[in-house]
Amino acid sequence: MQTTRNIIILSLTFFVLGFSGWLYVHNQMQESEQIKHNSNQMNASGLDIRVKQFDKMGRLTYVLTTPEVRHYPKGNMSVFTKPRILVYRPGQPVWHINALKGKAVNGNQKVMLIGKVLIQQAGNIKNPATEIKTSELSYFPDRQVAFTSKPISLHQPGINVTAIGMRAHLNNHHVQLLSKIKAVYHPDQRRSKS
Q: What is the pLDDT of residues 1-14, one digit of tens each?
A: 667 666 666 565 65
Q: What is the pLDDT of residue 192?
A: 47
Query: Is pLDDT above 90 for 35?
Result: no
Please give the backbone phi and psi of residue 192, each rounded to the nearest 5 degrees, phi first: -75, -20
Query: Is pLDDT above 70 for 175?
Result: yes
Local confidence band at 24 (pLDDT 50, 70, 90 cut-offs): low
Q: Which residue has the higher pLDDT, 192 or 135?
A: 135
Q: Which helix (H) or strand (E) segment is 109 a member of?
A: none
- C-alpha to C-alpha distance for 119 and 84, rounded to whole angstroms: 10
Mean pLDDT of 66-86: 90
Query: To the nearest whole number, what is the mean pLDDT of the chain?
Result: 82
pTM above threshold 0.85:
no
pLDDT digits (tens, 9 = 90+) for 36-51: 545 578 788 889 989 8
DSSP three-state, residue 54: strand
Q: What is the pLDDT of residue 68?
A: 92
- C-alpha to C-alpha distance for 7 and 83, rounded to whole angstroms: 71
Question: In the 3-class helix/strand/coil scheme, how is 56-93 assigned residue by residue?
Answer: CCCCEEEEEEEEEEEEECHHHEEEEECCEEEECCCCCC
Sign of CA dihedral 86, 88, 93, 95: negative
Q: What is the pLDDT of residue 165?
A: 94
Q: What is the pLDDT of residue 37?
A: 47
DSSP three-state, residue 127: coil
Mean pLDDT of 105-124: 88
Local confidence band at 174 (pLDDT 50, 70, 90 cut-offs): confident
DSSP three-state, residue 101: strand
